[in-house]
Amino acid sequence: MTSAQNMLAPFLVVACMLITMISMGGCEMGQKREQMYPPGVIVSPYDSAQGDVLWAVIPPMNESGTSLADDLAIGDAIVAAAQGIRGVRCLPLNRSIAAVRDLGLDRGIQSSADAHRLAEYLGADAVLAGSITAYDPYDPPILGLAIALYAKPGAMANSSQTKLDSRQLTMAFTDFGTFDGLSFAGEPVSVVSEHLNARDHSVLMAVRSYAQGRSDEQSALSWRIYTASMNLYTQFAAHHVVGRLIDEEWLRMSRVMRTYEQRQR
């Protein structure tokens, strides 16, 4: 080996080490980017032993004061959010729209009787109706949604509640506290209204939680991609509001069961 080769040998060794370290680092970065997290899932309180309950969603009424709000796109987002609930199936929005037209309910659900007719026509256990209360697609986006769940008496009960009068499941602890025995469900069994302003830090925290498992954390925007696009923000808002509705359903059914147990004593 010549003297020149002897002098180059250490440099070659160092170069090989650097190449190895760089390649290993690249592999580690690739592995980090490939890490995946499961997104949060909404779980219903309904007994699915006899199968999932079936919901029908109608497009929300636009009461935001702006024509920019697309009620059909937001309705599709609500359907997608409802379809993602464990224990719930949801009919496609187009089927609900066709049924609404067939029954002459173009003005939406005006009473529990309207909900009864629509649910019977579609063979659904419940009807989810609502309205768009605020809409601003510009940064930071704002979306307000109010949704109401009209349920068949006793259609969405746990197996431990089957001995209850089906009317109790319907009339218990609604926001209006009334029950019309001649109509479908009196008033909605659960009602939720949310004003989701992306300036609000609590809303941003909810967006960040929703984005986990649904966005690329290594991208430039990361979870903020859901506030950079109104379409994506609408997906978040629909999921958030439907999740709040299911929270109310857990509370409602828990209160019904507690009332039933107290009466049995």
- Taking only the tens place, the pLDDT of each residue in 161-172 is 444 444 444 444
How many CA atoms lie within 13 Å of 158's alpha carbon, on the beta-carbon side? 13
Residue 35 pLDDT: 75
Interval 221-242: pLDDT, tens: 889 999 999 999 999 999 999 9
Residue 256 pLDDT: 81
Tell me the mean pLDDT in the region 41-64.
Answer: 91
Band (pLDDT 50/70/90 cuts) for residue 23 is low
List beta partners, residue 57: 128
Tell me the mean pLDDT in the region 71-85.
Answer: 97
Q: Tell me if residue 143 falls in helix, strand or coil.
A: strand
Cα 145 from Cα 231, distance rounded (Å): 15
Q: Kindly report the average pLDDT of the chain as a whole number.
A: 81
- Structure tokens that stand for 199 in this block: 């300036």
Q: Is the pLDDT of residue 179 over 50?
A: no
Angle of helix 71-83 relative to helix 93-102, nearest 10 degrees, comes to 120
Cα 236 from Cα 170, distance rounded (Å): 29
Could you tell me the residue ranges of all domains in the chain?
53-264
Q: Which residues contact 39 (CB under 8 A, 6 or more apart)?
A: 210, 212, 213, 214
List beta partners, residue 194: 145
Length of the chain: 265
